[in-house]
């Protein structure tokens, strides 16, 4: 087990406060645990309005401290989800293995590690922090964010992303308060890097727009699938290797090579027309991602024989892949940590300190993601007055919202605490009636200002969801793509993708009562327990945080 000797803590008030800070690269964030429970968790992008920001998460940190009602001096441990020394050591081994082509990458790695250490010094200096600082491995943080937030006492854990601490993939087993690493796959052999490289090749922004590729893939055919299968080789050990002749990111800083271009054609220019070749390449990278993950998961099951699977890492946001892992492996139950990208490592490193290093028993499970800022009616009214916008106070906002949806109106739904993670789940959402066939195009072109092929998600009452989806499984965090039953697809055309699927959110009355009531009111009027839900933002911007952002 990866458990250090438990650290004894002397606290006058008997409370244990742990602050996790992700400042590793993109999607910076902060999370505060009090006695093992999450009290605040937010991404910096919502404060500085820069999507996938790399800025130090001062706004998120200050929010967490305020929400927790504490000062920095009350924080017992601050965790960072990286290990600079280990990262540099693995970088040196990479340098030796791929020399001389690796010298630029190794020089850059030194600067990266110095920068990370500098960020820790910046934090201590700015906040006057004098208590304990702990460095937790990047993938261990991902793994902890999934397992310790899950409802499982035992589970297999799969963490896949582009990379961190020079690892792209980690397979582990969690039991009680421990984590045992079973296998790691080092960079540059990275499924996340391959997906991001193809994202760049298709004219989208890598490390940001991978979801667009997932949405484009169902339009494509298997034209290039066999070619892509040759780019990722499976080993007898269960690991995989990427053909680095096609993906030289580890040497020259390019996402894809000239050899890739000779094989698959010229890359698409951003904002240019998308043709069948682009769709087919998107389909190929999506399929090989699913197949690689299935291989890893099946091997992980053989190692653990657990019925439960936890998923984290940026690739864990691939909801099509997740559904196949549930359907096509021996695992019976699944938990995908909703902030599976690097933002979630702030949560993970805090949970790792709490349980693995300190040995504290678990008393938390993640049932909802609304850990961000909230605003009073007075603050909302003041924002409206500053904009000279008329308003009225509603006795029953759920009923009025449903009535507006039925009339074909598009509703901005802003209530309660802000969600963490890339999915809006009914607190910072744009809503519409899914029965209107043209609603998808209206939202994509006139509201969200984004590509027309991109689908929208159905939010469905938890108790009615099985009636609409085959192979149903609860999906409270919108991280499973399920197949609509054939007789339901024409009923909800605005949330049915080209392949008959929907990235479903199942809504529980217990977890989000107001949002549940809105859908229930919509059902009373229409007989349909499904509405269209998309994040309250426009293309290229983060989800709104405040009333000012929403207006």
Active site residues: 26
70 SS3 class: coil
Q: How far is CA 191 from CA 87, 223, 227, 291, 546, in A?
A: 19, 20, 16, 11, 36
Angle of helix 319-327 relative to helix 276-304, nearest 10 degrees? 40
151 SS3 class: coil
Cβ–Cβ < 8 Å for 531, 432:
yes
Cβ–Cβ < 8 Å for 509, 516:
yes
Which two structure tokens, joined as six digits, stand for 541? Answer: 């911007």
- Looking up tokens 């952002």, which residue turns up? 549
What DSSP line would sit under 241-285, residue for residue?
EE-TTT--HHHHS-SS-HHHHHHH-SPPPTTSPP-HHHHHHHHHH
Cβ–Cβ < 8 Å for 503, 455:
yes
**Phi then psi dihedrals of residue 265, to 5 deg:** 100, 175
> Using CB atoms within 10 A of its CB, is residue 119 exposed (0-12), middle (13-18) or buried (19+)?
middle
Strands (E), 292-393: 308-312, 333-336
- C-alpha 160: how far from its chain's center? 12
């Amino acid at each position: 087990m990866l458990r250090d000797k438990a650290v004894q803590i002397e606290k006058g008030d008997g409370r244990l406060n742990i602050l996790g800070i992700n400042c590793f690269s993109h999607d910076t964030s902060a999370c505060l645990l009090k006695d093992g429970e999450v009290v605040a968790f937010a991404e910096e992008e919502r404060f500085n309005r820069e999507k996938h920001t790399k800025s130090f998460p001062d706004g998120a940190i200050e929010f967490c401290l305020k929400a927790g009602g504490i000062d920095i001096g009350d924080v017992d441990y601050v965790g960072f989800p990286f290990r600079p020394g280990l990262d540099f050591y693995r970088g040196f081994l990479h340098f030796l293995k791929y020399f001389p082509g690796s010298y630029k990458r190794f020089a850059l790695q030194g600067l990266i590690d110095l920068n990370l250490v500098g960020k820790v010094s910046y934090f201590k200096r700015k906040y006057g922090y004098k208590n304990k600082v702990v460095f937790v491995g990047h993938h261990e943080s991902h793994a902890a964010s999934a397992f310790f937030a899950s409802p499982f006492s035992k589970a297999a854990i799969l963490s896949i992303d582009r990379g961190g601490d020079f690892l792209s993939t980690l397979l582990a087993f969690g039991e009680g308060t421990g984590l045992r690493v079973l296998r790691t796959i080092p960079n540059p052999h990275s499924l996340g890097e391959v997906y991001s490289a193809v994202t760049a090749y298709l004219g989208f922004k890598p490390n940001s727009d991978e979801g667009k590729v997932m949405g484009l893939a169902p339009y494509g055919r298997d034209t290039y699938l066999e070619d892509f299968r040759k780019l990722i080789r499976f080993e007898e050990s269960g690991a995989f290797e990427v053909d680095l002749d096609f993906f030289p990111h580890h040497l020259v800083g390019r996402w894809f090579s000239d050899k890739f271009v000779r094989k698959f054609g010229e890359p698409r220019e951003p904002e240019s027309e998308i043709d069948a070749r682009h769709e087919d390449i998107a389909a190929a990278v999506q399929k090989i991602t699913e197949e690689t993950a299935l291989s890893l998961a099946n091997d992980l099951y053989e190692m653990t024989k657990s019925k439960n699977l936890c998923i984290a890492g940026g690739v864990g946001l691939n909801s099509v892949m997740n559904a196949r892992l549930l359907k096509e492996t021996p695992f019976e139950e699944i938990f995908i940590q909703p902030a599976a990208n690097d933002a979630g490592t702030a949560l993970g490193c805090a949970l790792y300190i709490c349980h693995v290093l300190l040995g504290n028993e678990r008393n938390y499970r993640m049932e909802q993601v609304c850990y961000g800022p909230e605003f009073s009616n007075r603050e909302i009214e003041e924002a409206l007055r500053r904009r000279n916008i008329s308003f009225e106070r509603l006795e029953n906002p759920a009923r009025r919202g449903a009535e507006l949806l039925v009339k074909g109106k598009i509703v901005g739904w802003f209530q309660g605490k802000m969600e963490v993670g890339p999915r809006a789940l009914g607190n910072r959402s744009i809503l519409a009636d899914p029965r209107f066939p043209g609603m998808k195009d209206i939202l994509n072109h006139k509201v969200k200002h984004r590509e027309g092929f991109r689908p929208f998600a159905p939010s469905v009452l938890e108790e009615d969801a099985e009636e609409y989806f085959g192979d149903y499984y609860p999906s409270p965090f919108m991280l499973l793509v399920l197949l609509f039953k054939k007789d339901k697809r024409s009923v909800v055309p605005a949330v049915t993708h080209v392949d008959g699927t929907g990235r479903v959110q199942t809504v529980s009355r217990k977890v989000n009562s107001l949002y549940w009531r809105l859908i229930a009111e919509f059902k009373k009027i229409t007989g349909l327990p499904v509405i269209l839900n998309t994040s309250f933002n426009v293309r290229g911007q983060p989800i709104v945080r405040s009333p000012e952002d929403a207006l």
